[in-house]
Structure 1
Amino acid sequence: MTKGSSSPGTPAILLLSGGLDSATVGAMARADGFALHALSFDYGQRHKAELQAADRVAKSLDVVEHKVAHIDLALFGGSALTADIDVPKGRTDSDRDAGIPITYVPARNTIFLSYALAFAEVREARHIFIGVNAVDFSGYPDCRPDYIKAYETMANLATVLGRSGTARIEIRTPLLHMSKAEIVAAGTRLDVDYAQTTSCYDPDEYGRACGACDACFLRREGFAAAGIADPTRYKAS
């Protein structure tokens, strides 16, 4: 369960990437009685497997609606997810501790949350759910508690909904301080079908995970630590 359950049918925006984390957040929010309006992004990423996964997860969550926003972060590049830059593979713990990896997409969560905020105003939804994590987060600056707090402050200053004074807009981050194993265990208790999700930064043309990027490493380690079978389809090595 997330912190602070809702009245049945309370509208909420769910940022849905099709990954393990966003599927778990969606299941938590649904269990708390929220009526979910899902939002995914075709943002110029190099593969569309995550959008296909988002569609599957949205259907499994029985969301009220699922919108896909089309934006072009590839216009700016600067990330292995949007530009012709190799996705790092086989990194060690010391590599991961060395700094923010090239898989970081500049300002991505800020842009995504801004779209979610606009969607929330139109749907009169005061809750925006996002699967950011400050434990297994690769050091990304837009997955940290101080960032989320600052964005929530801005959201309440920048919108008619936030300025109305009846209740605050909340950026809900139930996974923020959970390990990947804890996330997997929580989702499993809520019957999340993780076979529907994808986490890989560099899947093949069939949507199979590479098994060697940071996202695959964290996902695989999470299932192992939770003692739960990993349903991920990996391509042959």
Structure 2
Amino acid sequence: MESHRQPVIILVRPQMGENIGASARAMLNFGLTEMRLVEPRDGWPNSRAIAMASGAAGQVLDRARVFATLAEAMEGIDFAFATTARGRELSKPVHTPATAMEMARAHPGRCAIIFGPERTGLENDDVARANAIVTVPVNPGFPSLNLAQAVLLMGYEYGRDLLPAEPSPHHGRPEAIQPADRVEIEKLGDHFEERLTQAGFFFPETKAASMRLNLRNMWARLDLTRGDVRILHGMLRQLTRR
């Protein structure tokens, strides 16, 4: 994501360093790097925030700027969203995270997403400084979101059309996920046929040929990796060792 187009994440009067650090991690998950803090309760820098950021997300905290007021933290911001379940008595448009972040991606200027303190959320004076409200459609019986969860949700909605559309299809060692070739499949079939013959599986003799044919057909149908083939060979050796 281009840094000049990224929305700025503004945390207003955050109370716990751990939540600031977790928010930094959530931001970096979706390529967001600019954090602004307004009156963090426990001061700044905060060792608990650094510990929670854990590694790479520390760069977000290193670049974080601290402001005395939200008005000052809005420097250079052209459009701001206030995240709150309240404040609807103010005359402002209300959006879901998805529609709000669609607007942020399309906006020609710099956008900000404003989050309130963990215990109380944003006050009306804070919300009044935003252009629009973002409200998450959650269970009305339990509408509370952790600060970092809220940041993660907004980051995901912002990045969903900018980051890869699908996750990597494979994890693990490359040699374990490579497709098994026909020779490897053939040798696996030979190994099973040999052991099953020793165990008397192909019985009665009049059906043995069709049973062997069905097994060969089954191996050919399976989408096995080289790792799968090694595991199946190992399982068979272990089962027949005695």
TM, length-normalised to structure 1: 0.31
Structure (1/2) with the larger helix percentage:
2
TM, length-normalised to structure 2: 0.31
Larger Rg: 2
